[in-house]
Every structure is written in C-alpha cells, then in structure tokens.
Chains A and B, each alone.
Chain A
Amino acid sequence: MTYPNAAVTDYINRNFIPLHISTQSNSDLLSKYRIFWTPTILVLDSDGTEYYRFHGFLPSDEFIPQLEFGLGKMVLEKHDYKTSSTKLKSVVDKYPKSGIAPEAQYWLGVSEYKATHNVDALLNAWRKIMNDYPNSIWADKVSFAF
C-alpha cells in the first residue's frame, strides 16, 4: 500500500484536500467522473474540475511524481505558467527515473514556451527528452522538431 508511506501522506497533506470515495457508496460521483476501475486517483481543482487521473497501485517513488505532475498539468491548463514550470521541472529534477518524467519534460517545454513565446525554450526542453529519454514515446512526439 502506498498511503502508509510517510512521504506520501506528508505530500498529500501538504498539497491536497484528500477525498476518499468507495465505489459502493456514491453512484453520482462514479458517473460524474466515469469511474470503471479502482484504484482511480484524480486531481481536481477546488471546484471539482478534473485535471489529471491515473489508475492502479503505484509505489511511493512513482506515486508522488504522478501527483506532482497532476498539479503541474492543472496549473498549466489554468495558464499559470510560472507555477506549472516549477512543478513540472520538479518532477524531472526530483524523480528523473519515474515513468512520468518524460511526459513532464514535454509539458515543461510547452509551459516555458507559453510563458516566453521563445521557441528555443521549447526546443531546449524537448531536446532533453531526446537525450535523456530516447526510448520514450515522448521522444517520438518531439522528433519532428530536430
């Protein structure tokens, strides 16, 4: 189980209001968020709008980066590019071997570009995917640019 891990609980308590819903207790939310499998973890803003989700059990060294990435994607979609760059960069810097790191690097490039309209910022971030995660699908996605 991931939740008894002190780093995970600390991360959740610092960054989220945690909400636990049993699949047997609230059919309205199951329908609203299209839940068909558990565990399903969603990152919502304070209005309840969904910004990120993932499924299945993960060890703590994958679980925390997923949450950090979810926060980064949320603020990116809210056009808060300074915060999104910070969050997404922290995923790559702190958890470079996590499964979500290549995607975080991709969106970090997008965030940097949106903040500065500097194509070099985008390409520099994407070049790092080619160098550090050459076998990821995210390297395939950016390969057209090089």
Chain B
Amino acid sequence: MLEYALSYLIVFTLVPFATTLIADAKDKLSTIPWENTFEEAVKKAKEAGKPILLDFFSPT
C-alpha cells in the first residue's frame, strides 16, 4: 500500500515538473534572438565575427 502511495506521489509531483523542463528546453531550441535594428545587428556581427541573416517579413 505504501509503495502504491509513493508511486502516485512521484507521478503527480515529478511528471509535471519534468514536462515543464522539456517544454523549456524545446523553447530554447526553437528561439532565435532576432535583432530589430540594422545598427545593432552590424555591431553584434562585427563583435562576433559572423555574417547577418536579414529576414524581411510582412506582419500578419
């Protein structure tokens, strides 16, 4: 009985926590830190020694 109780306790406490961690990890994977100004992008590109990916988009 005690084992069942502990199992339920683990499932209901740790699973939501783990799900949150996985969701956070996915968000971090899919996040692009877009710059919003040309000047700032050029500054960061020079500092990082990287080229710039410029995406022109139409707001929906």
Contact = CB atoms under 8 A, between A and B. Distances in A.
A74 B60 CA distance: 31
Interface of B: 26, 29-38, 41-42, 44-46, 48-59
Given A19-B41, A46-B50, A47-B42, A39 B31 contact: no
A124 interface: no
18 contacts: A4-B30, A9-B29, A9-B32, A12-B32, A13-B32, A16-B51, A16-B53, A17-B52, A18-B33, A19-B41, A20-B34, A20-B36, A20-B55, A21-B54, A21-B56, A39-B56, A39-B57, A44-B53
A26 B57 CA distance: 11
Given A22-B56, A29-B38, A44-B53, 14 more contacts: A3-B32, A16-B51, A17-B50, A17-B53, A18-B35, A18-B52, A20-B35, A20-B36, A21-B56, A23-B57, A23-B58, A38-B57, A38-B58, A46-B50
B54 A46 contact: no
Interface string A94-121: 0000000000000000000000000000
Interface of B is mostly: mixed
Contacts of A38: 56-58
Contacts of A3: 30, 32
A9 B31 CA distance: 7
The residue among A3, A21, A29 with the most chain B CB atoms within 10 A of its own CB is: A21
The residue among B29, B32, B36 with the most chain A CB atoms within 10 A of its own CB is: B32
Contacts, number: 124
A24 interface: yes
B34 A18 contact: yes
Nearest to B50: A17
A38 B58 CA distance: 6
B50 to A, nearest CB: 5
B54 A45 contact: no
Given A17-B35, A19-B38, A12 B53 contact: yes
